[in-house]
Amino acid sequence: MACCHTEIPEAGDTAFSVDTSAITYGPACLGEAGDIAASLGIGRIALITDATLVSTEHVARVVASLADADVDVALYDEARVEPTDESFKAAAKFAADANVDGFISVGGGSVIDTSKAANLYSTHPADFLAYVNAPIGRGKNPPGPIKPHIACPTTSGTGAECTGIAVFDFLEMRAKTGIVTKAIRPTKALIDPTCTETLPANVVASSAFDVLSHALESYTARPYTHRVAAGRPSLRPSSQGANPWSDLGCREALKLLGHFVVRAVHDASDTEARHQLMWASTLAGIAFGNAGCHAPHGMSYSVSGLVNDFRPTGYPQVDPIVPHGMSVIVNSPSVFRHTAECNPERHLESAGWLGADVIGADPRDAGSVLADRLVELMRATGLPNGLTGVGYTEADIPALTTGSFPQKRLLDNAPCEITESGLAELYRGALSYW
Ligand SMILES: [Fe+2]
């Protein structure tokens, strides 16, 4: 495996950028939605949520706050869990017809991403693939800014409120892909940790491991100095690689996860643990939005896109899904076991923050120390046992590999070069862990 950490390209970048949504964090801050919308000049707003959340107190609190500020609401409650190109298009059509001048999303990453897409396509209509990542789409930047978007996450997971990424299933290819542009980063994130107090254990676990992998992947990503600089500074990608800013958030998020994840999953009344996971999610979201994830996320696209018959408890039972966090973490121990050789120090540090005993550990064992700690935490929180735990067998490895290898934005951000045969080996190593 070629190692990117020691090979600085001649045209490597020499600076990094920090872009993030403005954030308000704290219990009951959803009640600030109306004042914020009014201050952004929004008179009529599209409220994007889903069929489950629409009847919750979170949406009720936001609607009441918007009413208090005399902001008209156009409600859309059909955002799909694990959105598709079709569900993005439906939300965009709603937004175009509703004639709004801003957006507010209340939900998990799927809802927030749906709102980003609805905002983008209703503000700058285009052929759907125009803004989608290459090679599936054409990866164009929108011609100008889009409307203000206030994102209100209700799970402690995706960090979608802080990123310029919207992920969806492209149905005709059975592949997950995304739209990545700083233009769709929400204008404001309202992060109310009390939203996590009623979440089912399985949803908390899946979301938490998404956070964990955001932090681990960003911390171990290829350093920004090892990426060839963009032709113009304004084109510097958000997946710019590990940098001193993202390192700060990753470090703190990993410590919080190591300390609180098991408590938060098993005890819904442990508000300290659940709130701390929301804070970890915020920190990791800011970090990966400015560094980029790598192989576990790249591999997750086909793990969720090719799902056969997996229906985890705590999620809608209509269609089979591998929730995003599960589709990521089933790959993570296998990936970090291998990438550690490219940067053992960072892998070992991460294992220690997650609670592994690393005193006296040999850097040559960094990969197994980190992978073993991840597996320990997965088992302690009821996560699936690798790819077999979400319904795959060894026979699926070629399809999983073919489906994910085009995710160059993510795979190229790994600390080691990942070839197609190397990717297949990573999937093989992820089949089962115990
Ligand atoms: Fe993620």
Q: Where are the domains of the chain?
A: 28-191, 199-429
Average pLDDT over residues 392-402: 96
pTM for this prediction: 0.90
Average pLDDT over residues 223-228: 92
Find the 31 Cα to ligand 1 centroid distance in Å: 27
Please tell me the least confidently modeled range out of 17-26, 34-43, 389-398.
17-26
Average pLDDT over residues 213-226: 96
CB neighbour burial string for 261-270, b if at least 16 within 10 angstroms, e if fewer: bbebbeebee
Helix or strand (DSSP H, E) at 260 = helix 244-266
Find the 162 Cα to ligand 1 centroid distance in Å: 12
Find the 160 Cα to ligand 1 centroid distance in Å: 8
Find the 347 Cα to ligand 1 centroid distance in Å: 19
pLDDT of residue 3: 57
Give the β-pairing of 102-107 and 175-180. unpaired
pLDDT of residue 20: 82
CB neighbour burial string for 3-15, b if at least 16 within 10 angstroms, e if fewer: ebbeeeeeeebee
Q: How many CB atoms lie within 10 A of CB 210?
A: 29
Rg (CA), the chain: 20
Find the 63 Cα to ligand 1 centroid distance in Å: 28
pLDDT of residue 105: 98
Find the 170 Cα to ligand 1 centroid distance in Å: 17
pLDDT of residue 287: 93
Find the 213 Cα to ligand 1 centroid distance in Å: 7
| DSSP single-letter state for residue 269 | T
244-266 helix and 344-353 helix, angle to the nearest 10 degrees: 40
Q: Which of 377, 405, 353, 348 is nearest to 136 (CA)?
A: 405
Find the 296 Cα to ligand 1 centroid distance in Å: 9
Find the 245 Cα to ligand 1 centroid distance in Å: 19
| CATH architecture of the domain covering 28-191 | 3-Layer(aba) Sandwich (3.40)
pLDDT at 211 over 80: yes
pLDDT at 23 over 60: yes
Find the 230 Cα to ligand 1 centroid distance in Å: 25
Average pLDDT over residues 231-239: 85
* CATH superfamily of domain region 199-429: Dehydroquinate synthase-like - alpha domain (1.20.1090.10)
pLDDT at 71 over 60: yes
Average pLDDT over residues 280-284: 94
Find the 298 Cα to ligand 1 centroid distance in Å: 10
Find the 46 Cα to ligand 1 centroid distance in Å: 25
Find the 221 Cα to ligand 1 centroid distance in Å: 14
420-429 helix and 295-305 helix, angle to the nearest 10 degrees: 80
pLDDT of residue 2: 54
pLDDT of residue 134: 85
